[in-house]
């Protein structure tokens, strides 16, 4: 597991990470201490690194926050049969007929005004208004592929130029595309911006292992802005010295897990859905249905998988297998001693990259389940229902081996009677190699195995 990130050339401060025996994060220097986990590895206690903020959660079996305590002030929440949030601290939360949040009360907001949300027929956010003045403060537009391509806050109409699922440039509406406000360069992961150019000059992004942005620096390595988060991603923005800012002074919207933050609505854009960090859940139901559990609003940012499109996950696993070609453990007699006649035992580590995605389509009276296993074999199963419209599920899962090199970790010499000895060479996957393989897995999942579009959704 990653234990530290060190920086050179800029006074960013090194990051350190601690982990428990179940590989849950126990601490992070820029964030705080995670002092307790539920039986299902869900966080229940967090203490901020500055000791001024602590949070705890009383979780229901499917992840609903029955109570949320911050600095010893407890907020009680009530949920409905579909695990939609009905109220918090006795203030009502309103949902539309499709389960999308339409009114978020002030108690769940950074200020004193509620947030009013409007959605299209495909459950995508189209506008938001702060307060009960019947005025939209922000409006969004999408293209034919469902990508968010424009944001209008009444003052500036910004166009987002897309390359696949990444925004590579921001332009002001009416301005030539050859003169963008900002352009972006990404690393291997889909949500890993590394450089921004444009107004104000070059800016470099610095991140945690979870792809959350921690700082912006200029081309001279001078820190322009810092970012920190609570356990569920609510941001704190400061200048280089740590003085708090109410909003970014650098025009930066890439924050928690590398996703786009809207400071007007206090929401994150996760492509398929919006995420509300102060509530700790998404604003609409999971478009893949109940594939990930009974709670379609729950937000969980795991450390061993990613879901940048809000539709699927990818993960890596390490397994041992005996091999006749790759040396893992070898016994080699040497010298003039007695040859024990032992046969070499060879093992190698294998990293498997697994991607899974779910697609839904609507049929009447029948439910078709189409499953593709790791070898590409297909199996079909049909269940007949009694004149009901159901949402069938197509599950697609793929695995591939990510090649790794074995790094020599240890050599042991065992003496034998006489002058002989046996040299035992033990090789394993070096942690750095494993991390690189995991990153390659993410690239494969995000760039090569694009999740299929849900039928009937657009």
* pLDDT in the model for residue 438: 60
Q: Which two tokens stand for residue 395?
A: 């599950």
What's the distance, CA 54 to chain centroid? 23
pLDDT value at position 247?
94
Terminal CA-CA length for the chain: 41
Nearest to 81 by CA among 62, 68, 103: 62
336 to 391, 413, 420, 422, 423: CA distances (angstroms): 73, 15, 5, 11, 14
Query: For position 18, what pLDDT does the model report?
Result: 79
- Report pLDDT for 310: 63
- Contact yes or no for 405/433 (Cβ under 8 A): yes
Pick left, alpha or beta for residue 287 (phi over 0 → left; psi -120 to 50 → alpha; otherwise beta). Answer: alpha
d(CA 299, CA 8): 34
SS3 content of the chain, % helix, strand, coil (to 5): 5, 50, 45
279 burial via Cβ count (<10 Å: 0-12, 13-18, 19+): buried
In the block, tokens 């104000």 appear at 200
Q: Where are the beta strands (DSSP E) in 53-134?
A: 54-59, 65-70, 73-79, 85-88, 91-92, 94-95, 101-104, 115-119, 125-130
129 contacts: CB under 8 Å, gap ≥ 6: 115, 116, 135, 136, 137, 138
**Rounded to whole angstroms, how far apart are CA atoms 242 and 236?**
10
Burial bucket for residue 90 (CB in 10 Å: 0-12, 13-18, 19+): exposed
Strands in 96-163 per DSSP E: 101-104, 115-119, 125-130, 138-142, 148-152, 157-163
458 residues of the chain, pLDDT tens digit each: 777 777 777 777 777 877 777 677 777 776 667 666 766 677 888 887 666 678 888 888 888 999 999 888 999 999 999 999 999 999 999 999 999 999 999 999 998 999 999 999 999 999 999 998 889 999 999 999 889 999 999 999 999 999 989 999 999 999 888 899 999 999 988 899 999 999 999 999 999 888 999 999 999 999 999 999 888 999 999 999 889 999 999 999 999 999 999 999 999 999 989 999 999 999 999 887 876 677 888 886 655 556 666 665 555 555 544 444 434 444 444 444 444 433 333 344 455 555 555 443 333 333 333 333 333 344 333 333 333 333 334 444 455 544 444 444 444 555 555 555 555 554 555 555 556 666 665 555 554 434 333 333 33
Neighbours of 184 (CB within 10 A): 21
Q: Which one-letter DSSP state was computed for residue 444?
A: I
Q: Phi and psi for 245 in degrees, rounded to 5? A: -120, 145
- Concatenated DSSP letters for 205-232? EEE-TT--EEEEE-TT--EEEEEEE-TT
How far CA 149 is from CA of 141, 143, 191, 220, in Å, comes to: 6, 6, 17, 32
Residues 456, 377: contact at Cβ < 8 Å? no
């Amino acid at each position: 597991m990653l234990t530290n990130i060190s920086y050179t050339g800029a006074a960013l401060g090194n990051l350190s990470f601690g982990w428990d025996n179940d590989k849950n994060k126990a601490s992070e220097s820029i964030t705080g201490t995670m002092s307790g986990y539920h039986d299902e590895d869900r966080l229940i206690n967090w203490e901020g690194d500055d000791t001024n903020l602590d949070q705890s959660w009383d979780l229901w079996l499917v992840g609903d926050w029955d109570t949320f305590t911050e600095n010893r002030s407890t907020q009680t929440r009530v949920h409905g049969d579909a695990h939609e949030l009905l109220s918090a601290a006795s203030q009502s939360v309103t949902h539309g007929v499709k389960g999308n949040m339409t009114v978020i009360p002030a108690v769940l907001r950074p200020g004193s005004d509620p947030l009013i949300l409007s959605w299209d027929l495909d459950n995508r956010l189209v506008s938001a208004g702060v307060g009960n003045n019947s005025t939209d403060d922000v409006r969004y537009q999408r293209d034919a592929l469902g990508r968010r391509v424009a944001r209008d806050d009444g003052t500036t109409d910004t166009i987002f130029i897309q390359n696949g699922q990444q925004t590579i440039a921001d332009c002001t509406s009416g301005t030539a595309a050859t003169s963008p406000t900002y352009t972006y360069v990404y690393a291997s992961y889909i949500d890993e911006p590394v450089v921004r150019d444009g107004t104000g000059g070059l800016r470099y992004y610095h991140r945690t292992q979870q792809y959350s942005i921690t700082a912006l620096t200029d081309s001279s390595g001078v820190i322009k802005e810092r970012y920190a988060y609570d356990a569920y991603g609510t941001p704190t923005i400061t200048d280089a010295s740590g003085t708090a800012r109410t909003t970014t002074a650098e025009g930066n919207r890439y924050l928690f897990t590398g996703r786009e933050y809207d400071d007007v609505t206090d929401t994150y854009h996760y492509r398929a859905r919006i995420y509300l960090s102060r509530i700790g859940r998404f604003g609409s139901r999971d478009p893949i249905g109940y594939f990930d559990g009974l709670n379609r609003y729950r937000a969980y940012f795991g450390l061993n998988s990613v879901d940048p499109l809000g539709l699927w996950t990818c993960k890596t696993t390490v397994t041992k297998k005996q091999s006749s070609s790759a040396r893992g453990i070898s016994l080699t007699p040497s010298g003039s001693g007695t040859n024990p006649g032992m046969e070499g035992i060879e093992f190698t580590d294998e990293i498997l990259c697994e991607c899974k995605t779910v697609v839904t389509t609507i049929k009447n009276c029948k439910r078709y389940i189409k499953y593709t296993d790791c070898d590409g074999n297909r199996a079909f199963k049909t269940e007949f229902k009694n004149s009901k419209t159901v949402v069938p599920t197509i599950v697609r899962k793929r695995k591939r081996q990510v090649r790794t090199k074995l790094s020599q970790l240890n050599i042991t010499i065992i003496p034998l009677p006489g002058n002989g000895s046996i040299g035992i060479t033990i090789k394993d996957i070096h942690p750095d190699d494993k991390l690189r393989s995991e990153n390659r897995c993410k690239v494969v999942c995000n760039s090569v195995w694009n999740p299929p579009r849900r039928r009937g959704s657009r």
